[in-house]
Amino acid sequence: MNALVLNAENRTAEQQRISPPVPAANELLVKVIAISLNPIDPLYVQNPLASSGRVIGSDFAGVITRTGPSVPTSTGLKEGDRVAGFLQGACSVNERPGAFAEFLTVPWDLVWRVTSGISIDEAVGVSLVGLTAAQAIWYRLGLTTPFPYDPKDILEEHPEWKIGSPTDEHDTAPVNFFIYGASTSVGLFAAQMVRLSAKASNKTFRLFGTASKARWEMLRAEPYVYDYLVDYLDDDWPEQIQKLADGGGMHYTYDCISEGDTVERTASILAKNGRSAIVRSREGGAWKGEGLPVEPIYGAVWEGLGEEVQYQGFTVKQSPAARGFAVAFYKWLSVALGCELRPIPIRLMPGGLKNVVEDGFQLLGAGGMKDRHVKRTEEWMRPVSAEKLVYRI
């Protein structure tokens, strides 16, 4: 089969012919129809953690071609079903293959079924960023989920998170929730999840965010429905947020960028007893912050795969609670996408696997948002904003 394979020595990836995988007893063999890109895909190709020869990439959507003998028949999963999910790819030291190939294997309970109302192109951009947002909003910050889920396992693994509302449960005043990076892929899902939590908990939430003014009209409309937006380019955006909140501060904040001083500045608008989640660890120097009112909650999305993850210098431990949450989230996603939760915009890129590195990785860069500088004239090479890059295989 064709696959996109890491060349660590040259800090790139190349399309190669390799043997297709064989599913284990509890796995599915999936014929990949489409893949979508995440910033971590080029990051760990151009700054490799893995050794050469690994299949790279995370998000996939495709069709089941074989089920392992231990896959429960009660799941209803069968050959020909459309499914989506993500793999870890080359984003760790661990020797686990990624998704950017014509075929892949995946545990049966770590995929979600793509229903008839959703296209493969829409579905492929959901799994990793959707779970990233869900982990922050529901798993770590503890807002009410729109699906059955008991947080007792989370509390046992992470008692320091003190999951629960930072506001008086009998208080009828609105809950203030702030998202830095509202137009990012993660931010687009996070806003929807805040709205779903408001409905499930029967509480009023006021949603605040930062984004380019070009995205304000979209973000004020369904399904995001932001109450207040400020331009992230304004130096005084924290002061603007505080003024819009009548000086009350934010009960929850979610920093979807977590670069430079964004974590520190986001923390400055927290209310007393407020809670904050971020998408990047302090490890590696992505952000710095001294004297923060609270330590932001961080966790790698890979925890949802239920495997230990080794980075350079630290290890993310295997988390049964995180895996259990991912399974519950994907089960809900199989019925909720398109009705309760909407997919985000996509940009269909030309060329398939062979153009991923040359085009898609250039657009996303290999570092932070500030590193995205592409000077090409093709229509599909315009700057990326509020959308996922999708390739058909």
> What are the boundaries of each domain within the chain?
2-126+343-392, 130-301
Give percent of the chain above pLDDT 90.
79
% of the chain beyond a pLDDT of 70: 94
Alpha-carbon gap, residue 152 to 147, rounded angstroms = 15
Give the mean model confidence (pLDDT) for residues 219-236: 97
Amino acid (1-letter code) at residue 361? F
pLDDT in the model for residue 163? 53
pLDDT (0 to 100) of residue 292: 85
Show the beta-strand stretches assigned E in 68-200: 82-86, 103-107, 112-113, 175-180
CA distance 29 to 155: 35
- What distance in Å separates the CA atoms of residue 13 and residue 290, rounded to the nearest whole number? 38
CATH of 2-126+343-392, one of 3.90.180.10, 3.40.50.740, 3.90.940.20, 3.30.56.10: 3.90.180.10
Q: Is 130-301 in the same CATH topology as 2-126+343-392?
A: yes
Give mean pLDDT, residues 239-254: 94
Residue 372 or residue 262, greater confidence: 262
State the pLDDT at residue 167. 59
Band of pLDDT at residue 343, cut at 50, 70 and 90: very high
Query: What residues form DSSP beta bridges with 250?
Result: 270
The position carrying tokens 């807002």 is: 143
Contact 334, 113 (CB under 8 A): yes
Which residue, among 234, 192, 227, 189, has the nearest Cα to 213 in the 3D structure?
234
Look up the CATH architecture of domain 130-301: Alpha-Beta Complex (3.90)
End-to-end Cα separation, the chain, in angstroms = 11
pLDDT classification of 74: cutoffs 50, 70, 90: very high
pLDDT value at 169 more than 60: no
CA distance 6 to 191: 35
Question: What tokens appear for 201 in the block?
Answer: 């908990």
pTM above 0.85, yes or no: yes
pLDDT tens for each residue of 4-53: 999 999 999 999 999 999 999 999 999 999 999 999 999 999 999 999 99
For residue 165, pLDDT beyond 60:
no
